[in-house]
């Protein structure tokens, strides 16, 4: 059952109001986005909704840069503004694996304990167990596609244990990337 009252910090209210205005005018929004394991990027997004899951606020919409539905953690959004670009992907279906419902996606990753400082904000809310120099982190994330980028950015030092769909997607993504290189390299 949804809460009767939700108190949100001012930046979330500004994003929510801007997204509401974008939806009313049928235009995309533009913003800077800082994922924990990547440099700041400028995103243009056809917004679908702003929602809360496990106490965290998210913007969900079609990302023009990635050409797919994406979920953005609002704490990582800045410089949000309306554009004059008409929304064209507001009705795109959200892949089941990436849909954020009332609960986020439970995930487990394994990595060498020495890699922990390189994982940025991913471990902020994680339960981490370390034994014999290896750590396993259990956490909830909004979008499983971020695990592909996280694993790829660690050059084999991080393994996705679950969910199995994310593990398989990351392996397929890595194989497709390797296939782009000639065999003699």
Residue 84 and residue 129 in one domain:
no
Q: Round to whole Å and give the CA distance between 44 and 87.
A: 10
**For residues 61-86, average pLDDT:** 90
Name the one residue in this structure whose structure tokens are 């956490």.
139
Which residue, 1, 18, 5, 92, is CA-closest to 59? 18
Residue 111 and residue 161 in one domain:
yes
Residue 149 in domain:
yes
User: Residue 48 sits in which domain range?
Assistant: 10-93
Residue 185 in domain:
no
Question: What is the number of domains present in the chain?
Answer: 2
Q: Round to whole Å and give the CA distance between 62 and 125.
A: 27
What is the model's pTM? 0.51
Which of residues 45, 71, 93 is at a domain's end?
A: 93
Residue 174 and residue 115 in one domain:
yes
- What pLDDT, in 10s, does the model give residues 89-102? 866 555 444 444 44
Task: Please give the sequence-ordered ranges of beta strands (E in DSSP) within the chain, or none if there are none.
Answer: 27-33, 41-53, 56-63, 68-73, 77-86, 105-112, 127-131, 134-141, 158-162
């Amino acid at each position: 059952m949804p809460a009767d009252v939700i108190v949100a910090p001012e930046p979330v209210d500004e994003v929510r109001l801007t997204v509401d205005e974008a939806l009313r005018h049928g235009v995309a929004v533009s913003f800077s986005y800082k994922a924990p394991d990547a440099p700041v990027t400028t995103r243009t997004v056809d917004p679908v909704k702003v929602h809360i899951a496990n106490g965290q606020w998210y913007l969900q919409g079609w990302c023009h840069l990635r050409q797919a539905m994406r979920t953005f953690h609002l704490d990582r959004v800045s410089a949000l503004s309306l554009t004059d670009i008409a929304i064209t992907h507001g009705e795109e279906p959200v892949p089941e694996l990436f849909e954020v419902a009332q609960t986020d996606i439970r995930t487990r990753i394994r990595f060498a304990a020495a890699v922990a400082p390189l994982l940025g904000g991913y471990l902020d809310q994680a339960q981490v167990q370390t034994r014999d120099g290896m750590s396993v982190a259990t956490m909830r994330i909004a979008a499983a596609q971020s695990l592909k980028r996280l694993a790829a950015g660690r050059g084999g030092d991080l393994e996705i244990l679950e969910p199995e769909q994310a593990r398989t997607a990351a392996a397929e993504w890595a194989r497709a990337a390797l296939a782009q290189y000639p065999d003699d390299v």
